[in-house]
A and B are shown apart, each in its own frame.
Chain A
Amino acid sequence: MLTPLTVTLAVAALALAAWCGWAAYRDQPTKDWHFIGMAVVTLLALVQLVVGVVQLAQGRDPADGAVIFVSYLVGVLACVPVVGLVSLTERTKWGSLTVVAGAVVLAVLQVRLYDIWGGGTGA
């Protein structure tokens, strides 16, 4: 797997979490700028999905199997859009906190994804 991309995505997700956490701390809902941030993270996740699938197609095999690998990639991609939609229906600081939760989950999934691919091998 592309380790730099994994790290970038994890850092971006944590930054998004901190940003929305700050909004929640100030008792604010998610704003347009937050949604642009979510879009950036989602775009990175989409790139990761494509890169992952391309590497599978090239015959490289994740340590824990292709099915788990792809389901994690899809889960990563779904994370932020889902919490983004929830924060649209919950225009309070709780909506912002929901985005924090989703972004943290995404960062944790990146760590798992790294393990599933088999550590640094094949990077």
Chain B
Amino acid sequence: MPEPTTTKSAAVPGRGGRINTGPGKLLVTLYGIFTVGAASRSLVQLTTRFDEAPLAYVLSAVAAVVYAFITLSLVRGGEGARKAALTCCGLELLGVLAVGTWTLVEPSAFPDATVWSDYGMGYLFIPVALPLTGLWWLRRGHREQTAPTPSSEQSDPTSSEQSEHRSQET
């Protein structure tokens, strides 16, 4: 019963690439949620009480920009967007690790928390998990696009199942 519906979206690939379908759709949604969350949070903090913890609030704003960029790239799809998103996911991971370590080593610099404080503990560690998932998904997208028969893949009704198997092999 689930088969006809699962294959339907596999046969309709996203514009210029498949990084925005299937698990990619979930990833886009999560990035979208974090974009809205980080952006509105930093907007309120920067406009109302910037002096309290300028470093923390600016870092939150940086996080929001990175999230927004990745969200847009994932929505657009295609090889260029995939590479851009891949770079940004790497930056994001570095940012989470750096800010997370920074907040633990020098808590006095952060009177208020950022999105990435303590490796995103306040957000259930999703800020760490998200870039790792993103990197995995985007690298996987690359392997699929370099696969020899992208056109036959679109018309192949079992392509989504095959691609899942392929990712599990690696």
Q: Which residues of A contact B (CB under 8 A)?
A: 26-29, 65, 67-68, 71, 75, 82-83, 86, 89-95, 97-98, 101-102, 105
Complex CA gap A22/B81 in Å reads 33
Partner of A93, one of B2, B21, B40, B44: B2
Complex CA gap A108/B167 in Å reads 32
Contact A101 B26 (CB under 8 A): yes
Interface residues of B in 1-36 (CB under 8 A from A): 1-2, 5-6, 8-9, 21-23, 25-26, 28-30, 32-33, 36
Which single residue of chain B is at the shortest CB-CB distance from A71?
A: B40
- Residues of B near A95 (CB, < 8 A) are 25
Contact A83 B8 (CB under 8 A): no
Contact A67 B29 (CB under 8 A): no
Complex CA gap A27/B6 in Å reads 8
Where chain A touches its partner, the secondary structure class is helix
Contact B6 A92 (CB under 8 A): yes
What is the minimal beta-carbon distance from A71 to any residue of chain B, in angstroms?
A: 6
Contact A98 B25 (CB under 8 A): yes
Contact B22 A92 (CB under 8 A): yes
Which single residue of chain B is at the shortest CB-CB distance from A24?
A: B26
A/B interface sample: 24 pairs, CB < 8 A: A27-B2, A28-B1, A29-B2, A29-B6, A67-B48, A68-B44, A71-B44, A75-B36, A82-B29, A83-B29, A86-B28, A90-B21, A90-B25, A91-B9, A92-B5, A92-B6, A92-B9, A92-B160, A93-B6, A95-B25, A98-B26, A101-B26, A101-B30, A102-B29
Q: How many A-B residue pairs have CB under 8 A?
A: 55
Contact A90 B2 (CB under 8 A): no
* B contacts with A, residue count (CB < 8 A): 21
- Residues of B near A102 (CB, < 8 A) are 29, 33
Interface residues of B in 147-162 (CB under 8 A from A): 160
Knowing A75-B36, A90-B22 are in contact, say whether A101-B29 is a contact too (CB < 8 A). yes
- Residues of A near B21 (CB, < 8 A) are 90
What is the minimal beta-carbon distance from A114 to any residue of chain B, in angstroms?
A: 16
Partner of A28, one of B2, B28, B44: B2
Contact A94 B8 (CB under 8 A): no
What is the minimal beta-carbon distance from B51 to any residue of chain A, in angstroms?
A: 17
* Given A27-B2, A92-B22, A101-B33, 10 other A-B residues pairs in contact with their CB atoms under 8 A: A29-B2, A68-B44, A83-B29, A86-B25, A89-B25, A90-B25, A91-B6, A93-B6, A94-B22, A98-B26
- Residues of B near A101 (CB, < 8 A) are 26, 29-30, 33
What is the minimal beta-carbon distance from A26 to any residue of chain B, in angstroms?
A: 7
What is the minimal beta-carbon distance from B64 to any residue of chain A, in angstroms?
A: 14
Partner of B2, one of A26, A67, A86, A97: A26
Which single residue of chain B is at the shortest CB-CB distance from A27?
A: B2
